[in-house]
Amino acid sequence: MELIYPSYYKEFSCIAGACPDSCCHEWEVQVDAVSAERYRAMEGALGDALRAHLYDEDGETYMRNKDNRCPMWRDDGLCRIQAEQGHDALCHVCQQFPRLRQDYGEFVELGLEMSCPEAARMMLTADRWELITEQAPGGEEGDYDAELMALLRETRPYALALLAEEAVPVHVRLARLL
């Protein structure tokens, strides 16, 4: 199986308390089942706080916002769960955001969400607009039109090259891309 990702992907690191915005703002996070079970069993003040804000809806568990923010988001911009229990204690969504993973069976594309200020900064200021391809174990036949996917994969380097032409105004590059 191929892993395909932009050249800046592995350089991403959350800037946490230095972030001018936050993924902890106005977002009711879906908590995976393993983390929800761990949070509900957690002892002490952190466990009490987590239980007070977890709720279930349509078979999924969520963290209820308090005043339009995650109740685990401290005033210093850091996450209480991470500060007290470490990165591995975060639920899957919080560990992964703003990383994206699109699995097509025989290949996987990785990327970053533009909604994260640090990810957006990296994308917009990247010196290189190239895709890296690595081989990884696994993979299976994809459930998509193979001809259309081949066309997309063939034209993507051209599209990235158009976007990288710094001497051309961005609105012209985007028009050319269309």
- The whole-number pLDDT of residue 118 equals 92
Q: 10: helix, coil or strand? A: helix
Task: Write out the two tokens for 22.
Answer: 């936050």
* CA nearest to 101, candidates 111, 91, 115: 111
Peptide linkage before 6 cis (omega within 30 of 0) = no
The whole-model pTM stands at: 0.73
Exposed / middle / buried, residue 29 (Cβ in 10 Å: 0-12, 13-18, 19+): buried
- The whole-number pLDDT of residue 138 equals 78
- The whole-number pLDDT of residue 76 equals 85
- The whole-number pLDDT of residue 89 equals 94
Task: Write out the two tokens for 60.
Answer: 């999924």
Task: Write out the two tokens for 78.
Answer: 């850091």
Run means of pLDDT, 10 residues per run, the chain, 178 residues: 89 85 80 96 95 94 89 88 92 92 87 91 81 83 81 85 85 89
Residues 6 or more apart whose CB falls under 8 angstroms from that of 83 comprise 74
Query: Distance between CA atoms of 1 and 140, rounded to whole angstroms?
Result: 8
Q: How is 107-136 classified by DSSP, letter by letter?
A: EEEEEE-TTSHHHHHHHHH-S---EEEEE-
- The whole-number pLDDT of residue 16 equals 80
- The whole-number pLDDT of residue 146 equals 82
